């Protein structure tokens, strides 16, 4: 199941009787305690995170810069903790790298207030850029979430993934999490 992604911090809980092909509304994270239930978000440059609680609760998160500013990862981890998870593990999918992600100063300064100055990086041609991967990693460390797996390749320049900024493709990667 998935959702209509709107760069928000809406975390949507999956109902127990949910059909597998359901679209559950407007939001950017899905959380579920159901067994045999696959959760998905779709991305082509934005950050994407899968979260697995030791109580069997799972969540997937779509987070571009607006999601980082809205702190949707923090909110989702918090909701996972409220379901009774003690240990939380994460898998981090590919996003656009800072060398390819020129970013406006005003928004960058707001994100630096939340994630520190290492959120600021430089593009290959020396312009200000945002390091989405750093912001995600720092969030995991601050919230004590273990990183099990992280893809470091840039979606735009590695040639391995769909990238909206590379060629305006309508195609997306999916971050899918399944628990049985």
Residues that bind Zn ion (CB under 5 A): 97, 99-100, 154, 156-157
As a three-state string, the secondary structure of 17-29 is CCCCCCEEEECCE
Quote the CA–CA distance of 178 and 155 in Å, as a whole number.
Answer: 23
Dist CA 78 CA 74 (whole Å):
6
Sign of CA dihedral 29, 34, 35, 38: negative
CB atoms within 10 A of CB 180: 7
Residue closer to Zn ion, measured from CB, 32 or 95: 95
Question: Minimum distance from CB of 7 to Zn ion (Å)?
Answer: 21
Of the two residues 27 and 98, which places its CB atom closer to Zn ion in the complex? 98
Considering the complex, what minimum distance in angstroms separates the CB of residue 3 from Zn ion?
Answer: 27
- CA 54 to the chain's CA centroid: 20
Question: To the nearest whole angstrom, how small is the minimum distance from the Cβ of residue 52 to Zn ion?
Answer: 28
Q: Which residue has the tokens 């810069």?
A: 65
Question: Shortest gap between Cβ of 131 and Zn ion (angstroms)?
Answer: 11
Beta strands in the chain (DSSP E): 2-4, 11-13, 23-26, 29-32, 37-43, 47-53, 58-63, 88-92, 120-122, 128-130, 146-150, 173-179
In this complex, which beta carbon is closest to Zn ion, that of residue 62 or of residue 166? 166
CB of 176 to Zn ion, least distance (A): 24
User: Is there a contact between 11 and 75 (Cβ–Cβ < 8 Å)?
Assistant: yes
Q: How far is the CB of 133 from Zn ion (least distance, A)?
A: 11
In the complex with Zn ion, which residue's Cβ is closer, 76 or 95? 95
| Nearer to Zn ion (CB atom), residue 41 or residue 100 | 100
Of 156 and 172, the one with the shorter C-beta distance to Zn ion is: 156
- Name the 3-class secondary structure at 73: helix
């Amino acid at each position: 199941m998935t959702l209509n992604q709107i760069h928000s911090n809406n975390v949507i809980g999956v109902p127990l009787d949910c059909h597998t092909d359901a679209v559950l509304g407007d939001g950017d994270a899905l959380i579920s305690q159901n067994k045999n239930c696959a959760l998905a978000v779709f991305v082509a440059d934005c950050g994407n995170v899968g979260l697995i609680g030791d109580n069997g609760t799972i969540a997937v998160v779509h987070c571009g810069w607006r999601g980082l500013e809205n702190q949707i990862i923090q909110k989702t981890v918090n909701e996972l903790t409220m379901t009774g998870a003690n240990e939380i593990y994460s898998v981090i999918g590919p996003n656009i790298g800072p060398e390819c992600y020129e970013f406006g100063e005003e928004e960058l300064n707001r994100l630096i207030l939340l994630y520190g100055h290492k959120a600021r990086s430089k593009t290959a041609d020396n312009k200000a850029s945002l390091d989405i991967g750093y912001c995600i990693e720092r969030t995991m460390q601050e919230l004590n979430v273990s990183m099990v797996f992280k893809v470091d390749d840039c979606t735009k320049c590695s040639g391995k993934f769909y990238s909206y900024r590379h060629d305006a493709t309508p195609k997306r990667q999916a971050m899918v999490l399944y628990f049985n």
